[in-house]
Chains A and B, each alone.
Chain A
């Protein structure tokens, strides 16, 4: 009899306890949800410390919820509590080592800690990891983030590899293609950049940014005609687009000044060379004025008299400018239009001098004038021609 009553008690106890446990779970679940929402609001209000407290509370009601733990880690990261964030992320990583978001947050953590190799490792894990929603988009976005990080670390080769991998994946989104093109430009992959911009233009033919990007890439490839064409369209499609008109002006100036363009007569080549020479001399003068350097100092004269190799006590910048100025003064008579027409062989050395001046001054003074910018571009391409 007692046993029967005990069994009945157990059955009733099970039912009652199940009811209470369900009630308790519902309460905890709603509390966890409520605190998580508060955490989100705090994060949106840029209050990561408060958000971390909220997420921690949410987690105390739902300790197995990985999302709460991840949000807590992200809040702690935002609050610069790196050790705490790492502890949560490590435990999440132990549970789900392939989770894309966890790996990405760990990468962010190690970026903050300045641990380059671990950051790259977790970025790579995130790219190859599991994403529950929109995996392709997440992988591409993470790839871009990694490429940017590598660029910041001056790891061009690795960044290049990442971007090539993204391009091979073929981002469907024009915005991603545009970003890809611009990043490819930064890693000196103009040909691939043009492919990316063309992909954008196929879907958005009026994208001024894509035209501008294409202009820049064409310029890098020394395809000035294409660069002018693309820059002109960019400026036309969006006159307010930052840099479009500037780009067009520079390309046009370059086309106006380049003596090496095909089909130019000797007279025109000579004229362009002489103009470039004058611009170079002005550039030296302007840069010297900007830096407060006197180009015709006693030392300079003495050095000139002693054959130009005098030991100068001036700063390297002063020395460079003075040296080039002196060389220019010596060339002045042979760099006129008439002189060049008579001696076409002097065109190339004169242009070499111009390129040398533009490169040297660019290292000392900012390039603001479109003519100087055009000559500098020519100087940069001069090696690849």
Chain B
């Protein structure tokens, strides 16, 4: 018996005495136990370890984001007081003085804390091999909390995303992960941070896939989902599982309502456009000023915001409670429109001045206000529709999210997730699609790409990548014309068949879903007379890979190897040859030529 095998007591025999077996000693017990608990037994493959790590990252990020939100509330209370309408001195002084402190901290200690967390996570993924310094996490945590808590018009989601990514990066470095995994770990943390900040794991997963990673791959998807879920669980554990907004009941009752939502899409689209153009103009403009002015720019922005905040305190900070109020018809449409416009102004000031903080919450705020205003105005114009204003405000959020952040999938699912109301799906999709289309038409560069280019980073534009048409095998293949060869033909028959052909290589249908190939020169080599009646299937022992028309063209490149020609076959019937593709064909397709050329060269065989 090997030491690892457990010792089993054997049954007594008929006489009641035990059979003659050796009784395990104490040492054997210990040996067995040690073997059961040995590290080798628990060792994980890197993929499994990565998933476990994603859970740990989710928990850590969740904890960090909960503390971040508590710090924002604490600072808000201390700086602006407990009332919804802060006193005038506080409104003036708090954002301005906080702006001075923030500028000092950012310029002197945490230079990478300014700017978009999304872009910095993308930079970590594409440029810095997953590296986000811990000082950036600390800096983002402190300066963003101070900015939002003091009333700067910014949101906590983007910093939370970067805090999550930074924690993940730090943990990955400590664990000495491979370069590939270290690169991917930052988006995993980003999803966790965003999920905890939004209390919406699906939204976080989609956003990270759509905007940071840019592609769906099974390897990363599992980790992103796990980290987002564990982070959201931690957040809900501490702060409760209430959704962000109390959404009034809504059902689509009249198809005319879709017209109303379409008009919201148009208005939201142009509002998004104004905001993005404003940021695109203001940010570089403020950076042109001498360096010393950057110490005062957040304070100046804070002063202006404070001035606005005396009359409209709603525009200060993230403003989630006011979005809730807008959804419950607590403002007139005129006030809602003014709040939407002022939020565009104040967020531009805060963000343009380099104050750390995110654009998610302000985007939702603008959407809620503009949506509410449109809803109330439409209610007066078309009273028979009687759509609740809350529904407009909610759809407005998604509309501005799609128009400004240009994440159309995320914008739809975000609204469904934060509202928990799937009857909104048609209006949300319609309005978001219109806003997205308007924004893309008049502002081809998405805001995150715009910001990264302003910062001198050439990060891949995932929206642009999505727009690049994917080349497929069908774009390069040639039709199957010419002589046909099959595995059942004898060498003599095959020689006679190719005799008059100018073709250099022939694919051969071998039957049984297999293909092979033979060059003209090899085929015409004169063998001994006795071998001419051997079937091709006996001679051709190597199999040639085949393609389907819908395969991406790079698949053809990877499979091509030493074969000059690959068969393209039908998916339902692999024996049916649809065409052939050569390296030249592939290159021609990539160069944008030859897709519609008439290839006269005959090709292959239909078995």
Contact = CB atoms under 8 A, between A and B. Distances in A.
Interface stretch (B60-68, B112-120, B256-264): B60-68
A309 to B, nearest CB: 56
Contact of A17 (B238, B242, B329): B238
Given A64-B242, A91-B248, A57 B82 contact: yes
A258 interface: no
B83 A57 contact: yes
Contacts of B67: 16-17, 20
Interface in B58-83: 59-60, 63-64, 66-67, 70, 73-74, 77, 82-83
Interface in B196-238: 238
Interface string B46-64: 0000000000100110011
A30 to B, nearest CB: 10
A84 B330 contact: yes
B248 A21 contact: no
Interface in B74-125: 74, 77, 82-85
A13 B60 contact: yes
A57 B248 contact: no
Interface residues of B, number: 29
A2 B174 contact: yes
A90 interface: yes
Grouping DSSP codes into helix (H, G, I), strand (E, B) and loop, the A interface class, with mixed when no group exceeds half, is helix
Contacts of A14: 63
Nearest to A83: B329
Given A14-B63, A91-B246, A24 B74 contact: yes
A84 B174 contact: no
Contacts of A34: 82
Contact of B82 (A6, A35, A83): A35
Interface string A53-96: 10011001101100000000000000000011011101100100
Contacts of B171: 2, 6
Interface string A86-112: 111011001000000000000000000
Contacts of A60: 84, 321
Contacts of A86: 329
Interface string B23-66: 00000000000000000000000000000000010011001101
A35 B73 CA distance: 17
A91 B238 contact: no
Given A6-B171, A20-B67, A91-B328, A27 B77 contact: yes
A56 B70 contact: no
A6 B56 contact: yes
A64 B174 CA distance: 42
A260 interface: no
Interface string A1-35: 01100110110011011101100100110010011
A21 B66 contact: yes
A35 B85 CA distance: 13
Contacts of B321: 60, 63
A94 B56 contact: no
B63 A17 contact: yes
Contact of A57 (B59, B64, B84, B328): B84
B381 interface: no
Contacts of B239: 21
A328 to B, nearest CB: 61
A281 B83 CA distance: 73
Contact of B85 (A16, A53, A63): A53
Interface in B282-340: 321, 324, 328-330
B70 A87 contact: no
Nearest to B73: A24
A14 B82 CA distance: 27
B204 to A, nearest CB: 20
A83 B330 CA distance: 7
Nearest to B321: A60
Nearest to B60: A10
Nearest to B376: A83
Interface string B460-474: 000000000000000
Interface string A224-268: 000000000000000000000000000000000000000000000
Contact of A87 (B64, B249, B328): B328
- Category for how many chain A residues contact B: 20 to 34
B14 interface: no
A105 B105 CA distance: 52
Nearest to B83: A57
Contacts of B82: 31, 34-35, 57, 61
B326 to A, nearest CB: 10
Contacts of A7: 56
A90 B327 CA distance: 12
B600 interface: no
Contacts of B528: none
A204 B175 CA distance: 86
B343 to A, nearest CB: 18
A20 B60 contact: no
B108 to A, nearest CB: 28
Nearest to A72: B330
A60 B175 CA distance: 43
Given A27-B77, A64-B242, A91-B248, A56 B84 contact: yes
A28 B73 CA distance: 10
Contacts of A53: 83-85
Contact of A90 (B64, B175, B248): B248
B85 A13 contact: no
Contacts of B85: 53
A61 B59 CA distance: 26
A51 to B, nearest CB: 13
A18 B73 CA distance: 16
A13 B63 contact: yes
Contact of A94 (B64, B70, B249, B330): B249
A63 B242 CA distance: 10
A3 B176 CA distance: 12
B388 to A, nearest CB: 9
Given A10-B60, A13-B60, A17-B66, 16 more contacts: A2-B171, A6-B171, A7-B56, A9-B60, A10-B59, A13-B63, A18-B238, A21-B70, A53-B84, A60-B321, A63-B321, A64-B242, A84-B330, A86-B329, A91-B246, A91-B328
24 contacts: A2-B174, A3-B175, A6-B171, A9-B60, A10-B56, A10-B60, A14-B63, A18-B238, A21-B239, A24-B70, A24-B74, A28-B73, A31-B77, A35-B82, A60-B84, A60-B321, A63-B242, A63-B324, A64-B242, A84-B329, A84-B330, A88-B328, A90-B328, A91-B248
Interface of A: 2-3, 6-7, 9-10, 13-14, 16-18, 20-21, 24, 27-28, 31, 34-35, 53, 56-57, 60-61, 63-64, 83-84, 86-88, 90-91, 94
The 3 nearest A-B residue pairs measured at CB: A87-B328, A13-B63, A87-B329
